Structure formats: structure tokens, C-alpha cells
Amino acid sequence: MMEGGTTIKLLDLPGQQVSEWLRSFDTVLSDGDGTIWQDDTEIEGAAAVLNALQNHHGKRVYIITNNGLKTRSELFGRAQHLGFQVPNDQHIISPTATIVEHLKQLPDFDSSKHKVYVVGNAAIGRELRENGIESYGAGVEEPLAKGDKWQDFAMRELTKPEAADNVGAVVVGWDEHFSYCKMARACHILCRNENSAFLVTNRDAVHKYPNFCIPGTGAFVAGIEACAGREALEMGKPNPVVLEPLIQSGALRPQRTLMIGDCPKMDIAFARNCGMQSLLVGTGSFPLDILQQNSHLPQPDFYLPKLGDLLQFL
Amino acid sequence: MSTYKQTCTNLLELSNSKVTEWLASFDTVITDCDGVLWIYGNALEGSVDVMNQFKAMGKKIYFCTNNSTKTRAELLKKGLELGFRITEEGIISTAHATAAYLKQRKFDKRVYVIGSEGITQELDKVGIKHTQCGPDPMQGPLGEFMAKHLKLDSDIGAVVVGFDENFSFPKMMKAASYLNDPKCLFVATNTDERFPMPNMVVPGSGSFVKAIQTCSERTPTVIGKPNPAICESLLNPKKIDPARTLMIGDRANTDILLGFNCGFQTLLVGSGIHHLSDVDQWRKSKDPEDKKLIPDVYLPKLGDLLPAIVNSQTGGSY
């Protein structure tokens, strides 16, 4: 792996060197949006490359996404539909899956008696339920009731024992129904139950478009963190905790793993944080020439304009 | 300079003559409200008497609150009802100061307000146009909301964020979209993360501001304590002498820090947010910023000063 060297453009290397490089890793982690698919459309050549790496070069392939709006099995469904041949949904690493894995190994969380309060979308509730964990709040609207002032809500709702009793975790995800009441409930639980887990799917701050900006999950959790005085644990890239289950089970070794992605702050930083090789593809917002002008951003070890360009070497 | 500067001296442990001396060392008193004078709807024991005694002793009195949900008129009414002798000019509030800040900059566009009527009424008083506060719930899933319901106004020149019980995703989206224009001002009434409530932790303005700060990727101008801007009208022109001004508060990172920033003497009362145990932490801390939070003097509650005041008035001969 390169340490602070310049990025190597794979297309500039002779074929033999690329073949040698292909032998330097046993596992491939690939980002989703912007790398192998864009929502429900495959990026051309991506499936062929990942399938070849898996089926002809003996690599274990995982798709690793920060998409917190779908369950692991729903993302696996998309992968299959788009032609990716990863064997089962255990080869999808996503925030909802990471949340479940993380809760299950926490000593203070007991799924037989604890439930989870979710400030987020319904997929988080679905994933928890599919894994035997009870939750409430996912996908639910809770505006201040007509005629209520915030003091009425707080005095009535937050003094009930069930507002915090046996709530073992607060999980924050993308929530188009984010509201004062949800913030207040989350803070109440986090302050009352010191041993409760506080998890967030990912910390994207905002998604900017020409005429409007869509708040990201990072903004929702920042508001809750400010009030609760506690920091949430990020269940997505670039936090290395995401890789823990695979490292613990021996399914991969970071030094023999290649991380492929289109986003320097997420994917390349993740590779760095975990000690993996990194390959940046130019199908996202940072084609290499732009990235190199922004030297404060993590620079990748290797680069390809698009993942499909690797096919000629496979 | 106060003899007690940043020593957190407990006034209850000083001799009568020393307290009398201390009482004579300031002519102006600026006090926080929630957690010092009152909690929620009830006056704290002794607070009314102490403040009225200060006034009777000839000291100038100001109430200074970060609470942006009330206008000065409403705060005046509350204070008078509880028995405090105070006038509207003696009330410094972030809602009022925010409107004054915009007026002073000759702001002539429209304000997108995430807050309550405390703010909108103060803006009305100075003739600044603004959006309405109140509920703005999500309508339909995101796609439908953006296609059919989301309306961005073209005349917004500032986003003001304060305490909003109707905080919602649509408000965050509008604020972030308006603030994407670097010319649009971003003002926060205050950054107290929690609203003072007995026995309960509930979100305050600071939590809403943090959320907007994150999705707009911009830092706001903060009007309230500890920013000296909130007592701008007292400092310039010099209506008061900072060295002979006492700042009383229950929260060190707003009240005491404001005192530090303005060169006031400071008194921390333990009837609200911060306590002696917190001061101990700041004493032990290696961070120089934490030293600014240590008050000159301390009392468990403001009412505890009453015997000493009476004593100083009667010369100890009652």
C-alpha cells in the first residue's frame, strides 16, 4: 500500500503490473452509489467487473453502502436485480445491518427486554424487527399536537415511565418527519438511561442541488447530540467500526483488502482508517484532476475513470 | 478589578463587613432570569426581595435573558406579576436584540424565522418583514413535497433561528436552501442547548441552531450571551462602568462568560444549571477557556444574600 505517495492511474500501467496488483488482495469492498450503481441503474461494466473478480479471480466481494433507507435484504434484492452475483445478503454491508450487528454484541443491550427508539425512516424499524429487536418511532410522524405548547408535550409525555423505561438505544437515521417532539424524546432517553446506545446511520450533512438543499442525517443527529450532551456512534463509512464483524469472524484481513469507491471523504478515508488499499473511480463528484487540486482531501492509492475499465485486465 | 476575581468565593463564608464592602463595589446589576430569579412560573425564594433591595440601594437593574420566546413586554409583565420592580427599558432579551441587530445593519429584505412570536413581534416593532412562525409539517414523501409543496421565497435576506417548538424537516430544508446564498445572513438568537426546566432535559435554541448549522454548512452570528453584542446598547455609549457592574447568572458558559467578556464582576448562583462541582472541574482543567467560566463569587441562591443586605442597611444594629 502506498504511504503518502502519488495516486497510480491503473490505465497507465502495463498489463503485467496490473495482474501483479490483482494478486495483492483477497477481498474487495465496493461502494454502491456512484461506483457500481446510481439508485436502481447499474453503472456500465460494474457488475461484470465485480462478478469476474469473484468468480474468476477467487476474491470475496462485498458491497458496502451508507444508504440507510433500505434494509440489508432489500439492498441485496437490488444487487441481484442489477446482475451482481454476490452469494447472499451477508455480502451487503449497510448502516441498518451494522446497527443490528453492533446492538447484538453490546453487553448493555438485551433484546429480550430492551427496545429501540428510532428517529428515522421505516427501513431501520424493518431491519430491527427482522432481527428480533423491538423498536418504535421509525417512519412515524410526531408534530406538536394542535393546541399543545412544548411544555404540555414535555410534562405529559416525558414524565410517563414508558418514555424511557427499557429503552436500550436511540438510533438516528434520515427522517423527513424530524420534529421537536422526536428530538425531545431522544434526548430524554439518552439523558435518563446513561447506558443506552446512541447510534446514527451516517453523518452526511446535506445533499446540495442547484435550487435547494436537502438536510442529511448528520444535521438531525447534531441537534440531538447538542441537547443530550452525548455523541452518537456512526454506523457507516468512514467509521472503521463498520468492518468489525467481518474482521472478528476472520472473513477479511484489511491488509489484503481493496476498497473501491467514488467519494474521497467516505470511501478513501474509510480505506485509510481500516488499513486497506484504496481505488477511486471517477464516476462520482471527484474525477482525479479535481481531487488532486484539493490536497486536503484523502488521496487514493489507485485510480480508474470508471470501474468497468478494469474489465480488460480480468 | 474585583478582589475576588475568578476565585468563586462563597459569599456566605465572608464576614458581614466584607459582604457590605462587596455590595458597595458595584452600581449596576445585570441578572439572568431563568434559574436565578424564577424557574418556569415561580419566583425563586428571596429573589424578588434581593433585586428590589438592590434597586432601593440606588443600583441600576437590568434583566438579561437568552429566552427568545417572549417579547420584552411579556417579560416585563411576568416580572411585575412576580413582584419585581422593573421597567421595559431594563429588559435585555435576545429577541429584542436580534431585531435591533438587523435594524442597525439597515436590513431591508425579509427574514425567514425559525422561532416563536417573541421574535416576530420584535421584528414587527422595528418594521422588518418576516415569514410566519408556527407549524410547517412535512407534506407527502420527499419527492412529492419538493414537486408540489416546497415554496422558496425570492426576497429572503436572512435566516434567524431561535427556540421553535414546531421545528421540522421542511423548516430545515428551507433554511439550508436560503443559506446556500452566501449573501443571506444567518443569525442565532442564542446557543443554549437546553431549555431550563425543573427535573427534565428538553432541547433549547442551541440544538435547533446546531441542526441548521450542520445542514447549511455555515456558522451563525450569535446574538445572545456570552456574546457582548447583547449588551451593546449599554456598553456603547458608556451607560455603565463595566468594573462597577455585577453580572448574576446560573449558567457559566453564557452568564459568567458574558461577564468575563465585558469586564464585569460575576456572581454564580447554584439554583439553576451549574454548581460548585462544575467550578471544581474548571479549576482542575488545563484548558484556559475553562478558567473564564469561574465566577468571582458564589451563592447557593440569590435569596441567600438578603440577610447580608439587610445587615448592611441597618449597620448590624437590628
Query: What pLDDT score was predicted for residue A269?
Result: 96
CB-based contacts of B286, cutoff 8 Å, min separation 6? none
Residues A242 and A228 in one domain: no
Helix (H) or strand (E) holding A184: helix A180-192
Domains and CATH numbers, chain B: 9-66+226-314 (3.40.50.1000), 96-222 (3.40.50.1000)
- CB within 8 Å: A227 and B193: yes
Grade residue B70 by pLDDT with cuts at 50, 70 and 90.
confident
Q: Which residues of A touch B278 (CB under 8 A)?
A: none
Residues A172 and A220 in one domain: yes
Return the residue of A nearest to B209 by Cα: A223
- Could you tell me if A170 lies within 8 Å of chain B, comparing CB atoms? no
When CB atoms are compared, the residue of B165, B201, B216 closest to A149 is: B165
B128 closest CA partner among B104, B151, B152: B104
Residues A118 and A225 in one domain: yes
Question: DSSP readout, A154-165?
Answer: HHHHTTSGGGTT
What does pLDDT average to over chain B?
A: 93
State the Cα–Cα distance between residues A239 and A218, nearest whole angstrom: 14
Find cell 442525517 and name the residue. Answer: A217
Provide the β-strand partners of residue B39.
Answer: B42
CB-based contacts of B9, cutoff 8 Å, min separation 6? B296, B297, B298
Residues A207 and A116 in one domain: yes
- Could you tell me if A69 lies within 8 Å of chain B, comparing CB atoms? no
- Res B315 pLDDT > 90: no
Grade residue A1 by pLDDT with cuts at 50, 70 and 90.
very low
- Res A75 pLDDT > 80: yes
When CB atoms are compared, the residue of B135, B141, B213 closest to A143 is: B135
Residues A243 and A227 in one domain: no
- CB within 8 Å: B135 and A191: no
Provide the β-strand partners of residue A281.
Answer: A304
Q: How far is B274 from chain A (nearest CA, A)?
A: 14
Q: Grid coordinates standing for B140? A: 407527502
- Could you tell me if B176 lies within 8 Å of chain A, comparing CB atoms? yes
A93 within a domain of the structure (yes/no):
no
- CB within 8 Å: B194 and A206: no
State the Cα–Cα distance between residues A182 and A185, nearest whole angstrom: 5
- Res A4 pLDDT > 80: no
A12 within a domain of the structure (yes/no):
yes
A228 within a domain of the structure (yes/no):
yes
- Residues of B involved in catalysis: 32, 34
Strand pairing category for A277-281 and A37-38 = unpaired
% pLDDT > 90, chain A = 93
- CB within 8 Å: A213 and B142: no
Cβ proximity of B241 and B27 under 8 Å? yes
- Could you tell me if B212 lies within 8 Å of chain A, comparing CB atoms? yes
Residues A190 and A244 in one domain: no
Return the residue of B nearest to A175 by Cα: B169
A95 within a domain of the structure (yes/no):
no
Q: Grid coordinates standing for B8? A: 468563586
Strand pairing category for B91-93 and A37-38 = unpaired
Mean pLDDT of A126-137: 98
Task: Tally the domains of chain A.
Answer: 2
When CB atoms are compared, the residue of A178, A180, A218 closest to B165 is: A180
Asked if this assembly's ipTM is beyond 0.90, the reply is: yes
Pick from A186, A204, A234: which residue ends a domain?
Answer: A234
- Res A173 pLDDT > 50: yes
Helix (H) or strand (E) holding A268: none
pLDDT (tens digit per residue) in B101-155: 999 899 999 999 999 999 999 999 999 999 999 999 999 899 999 999 999 999 9
- Could you tell me if B177 lies within 8 Å of chain A, comparing CB atoms? yes
State the Cα–Cα distance between residues A227 and A154, nearest whole angstrom: 14
Query: What pLDDT score was predicted for residue A6?
Result: 87
B188 closest CA partner among B170, B207, B202: B207
- Res A139 pLDDT > 50: yes
Q: Which residues of B touch A180 (CB under 8 A)?
A: 164-168, 203
Mean pLDDT of A68-74: 96
How many inter-chain contacts (A to B, CB under 8 Å) are there? 132
A186 within a domain of the structure (yes/no):
yes
Q: How far is B314 from chain A (nearest CA, A)?
A: 44
- Res B317 pLDDT > 70: no
Summarize chain B as % helix, strand, coil (round to 5): 40, 20, 40
Cα–Cα–Cα angle for A214, A217, A219, rounded to 5 degrees: 80
Q: Grid coordinates standing for B30? A: 445585570
Pick from A193, A214, A234: which residue ends a domain?
Answer: A234
Return the residue of B nearest to A149 by Cα: B165
Return the residue of B nearest to A156 by Cα: B200
- Could you tell me if B168 lies within 8 Å of chain A, comparing CB atoms? yes
Q: How far is A295 from chain B (nearest CA, A)?
A: 20
Pick from A189, A209, A234: which residue ends a domain?
Answer: A234
Residues A243 and A219 in one domain: no
Say whether B96 sits in a helix, a strand or coil. Answer: helix
Higher pLDDT, B46 or A39: B46
Q: How far is A153 from chain B (nearest CA, A)?
A: 10
Say whether A79 sits in a helix, a strand or coil. Answer: helix
Residues A221 and A180 in one domain: yes
Q: How far is B143 from chain A (nearest CA, A)?
A: 11
Instruction: Cite the annotated binding site of B for substrate by residue number.
Output: 225
- Res B18 pLDDT > 50: yes
Query: What pLDDT score was predicted for residue B1?
Result: 52
Residues A230 and A113 in one domain: yes
State the Cα–Cα distance between residues A283 and A294, nearest whole angstrom: 17
B173 closest CA partner among B159, B157, B163, B187: B159
- CB within 8 Å: B207 and A227: yes
Chain length of chain A: 314
Q: Which residues of A touch B40 (CB under 8 A)?
A: 151
Cβ proximity of B136 and B168 under 8 Å? yes
**Which CATH number is A167's domain given?**
3.40.50.1000
- Could you tell me if A228 lies within 8 Å of chain B, comparing CB atoms? yes
What domain range includes position A158? 107-234
- Res B280 pLDDT > 70: yes
Strand pairing category for B38-39 and B42-43 = antiparallel
- Could you tell me if A158 lies within 8 Å of chain B, comparing CB atoms? yes
CB-based contacts of B239, cutoff 8 Å, min separation 6? B233
| pTM of the full structure | 0.91
B311 closest CA partner among B38, B50, B37: B50
CB-based contacts of A141, cutoff 8 Å, min separation 6? A177, A179, B137, B138
- Could you tell me if B193 lies within 8 Å of chain A, comparing CB atoms? yes
End-to-end CA distance of chain A: 21
Return the residue of A nearest to B145 by Cα: A176
Find cell 422588518 and name the residue. Answer: B128
A85 within a domain of the structure (yes/no):
no
- Res A93 pLDDT > 50: yes
- Could you tell me if B203 lies within 8 Å of chain A, comparing CB atoms? yes
- Residues of A involved in catalysis: 31, 33
Residues A118 and A226 in one domain: yes
- CB within 8 Å: B214 and A184: no
State the Cα–Cα distance between residues B138 and A179, nearest whole angstrom: 10
Provide the β-strand partners of residue B194.
Answer: B203
- CB within 8 Å: A206 and B146: no
Least confident of A78-92, A182-196, A276-290, B260-274: A276-290
CB-based contacts of B260, cutoff 8 Å, min separation 6? B226, B266, B292, B293
Residues A252 and A190 in one domain: no
A75 within a domain of the structure (yes/no):
no
Q: Which residues of B touch A225 (CB under 8 A)?
A: 210
Cα–Cα–Cα angle for A148, A154, A157, rounded to 5 degrees: 95
Helix (H) or strand (E) holding A36: none
State the Cα–Cα distance between residues B118 and B68, nearest whole angstrom: 6
Q: Which among A39, A119, A141, A144 is the top mutation candidate for probing chain B, defined by the most B β-carbons within 10 Å of its own β-carbon?
A: A144
Find cell 458595584 and name the residue. Answer: B26
The Cβ-side half-sphere exposure at A290, using a 13 Å CA radius, reads 12
Q: Which residues of A touch B193 (CB under 8 A)?
A: 226-227, 229
A78 within a domain of the structure (yes/no):
no
Instruction: Cite the annotated binding site of A for Mg(2+) by residue number.
Output: 31, 33, 262
Grade residue A2 by pLDDT with cuts at 50, 70 and 90.
very low
